[in-house]
Chain A
Amino acid sequence: MILVTGASRGIGLGIASRFTSLGFDVVGLARTSVAAPFPTFEVDVTDDEQVRQVALDLRRAKTFPTVVINAAGIASMNLALMTPASKARAVVGTNLLGTMFVCQAFAPLIARAGGGSIINFSTIAVALGLSGESVYAASKAGVETYTRVLARELAGMNIRANCIAPGPIDTELLRGVSDSQIDAIVKQQILPTRFTVEDICDVAEALVDKRLSSISGEVFHIGGV
């Protein structure tokens, strides 16, 4: 079974739908469920009790994921000195703490399944140090470091952990970002192309594949940096 957070929209919905179409059993986690071709639990990943309850329910049902994909995330475009505290807390809470809570709750279930893979989401903003994305990039830098340490700690349980770090992808996260701003970021990629949710799905699919079983603790930059 593949568990995907942020499964009601954007990259999470795209990935969950992709794996469903490939014949995998997929379970989604989302703050609000939407009509989707896979079952969804209504969970706020910033609430560790809610996250742990879902993990407990799955364990009781002896339904153990072999793949966990943390796609839940929120963005904030603010200059560092002008970021409201509430926004900073929300971004770090969802992007970093939410990822931590999900990994902590579900890694033991992956271990019970005999091993598998965790995919977390970073951003190209970390590598590029993009102006206006200080809190967002900092939260994702935390995800990258957390993932590297996690990969080391879980290796003995046959669990791999990696990050995908997309550039600008056409989802709700880009709402309010102008085309010229997006183009300026895309130009800094090695492959100066606007990639899509489908391209992210391709990388996620590859990372789940057993042929990449030698890869853990890495960050995959979409478009290259």
Chain B
Amino acid sequence: MSVLVVHHVRELMKDKNVLITEETSLIGDSRVLDSLGLVELCLRLEDEATELGFEFDWASESAMSRNSSMFRTVSSLAAEFESQQQAKS
């Protein structure tokens, strides 16, 4: 799933020269997307989830908790996406 997230992050980034890895931050000082970009990323993941037959919930309690936020890194977002997919199946 990280590949999927990396793909969309890369498309949404304004600075295309930044290397995106699984540890790239999506929130905080070193984030690569602004708040608008992060919302657009979530909308894209909603669409991806629909294609895969589940609903991606990006406004849950866990998403909003900074310590355990799914938006910490590309890999944490991908893990949450995958977790929600598995919970559905």
Contact = CB atoms under 8 A, between A and B. Distances in A.
Contacts of A52: 59
A104 B63 CA distance: 13
Contact of A157 (B39, B46, B50, B55): B39
Contacts of B46: 59, 108
Interface residues of A, number: 12
B54 to A, nearest CB: 12
Contact of A153 (B35, B40, B43, B59): B35
B36 interface: yes
Contacts, number: 20
Nearest to B34: A156
Q: Is the interface of B mostly helix, strand, loop or mixed?
A: helix
Nearest to B35: A153
Contacts of A111: 39-40, 43
Interface in A118-173: 153, 156-157
Nearest to A104: B59
A44 to B, nearest CB: 18
Given A56-B55, A104-B59, A112 B43 contact: yes
A108 B5 CA distance: 19
Nearest to A59: B46
Given A108-B42, A153-B35, 4 more contacts: A60-B50, A108-B39, A112-B43, A156-B36
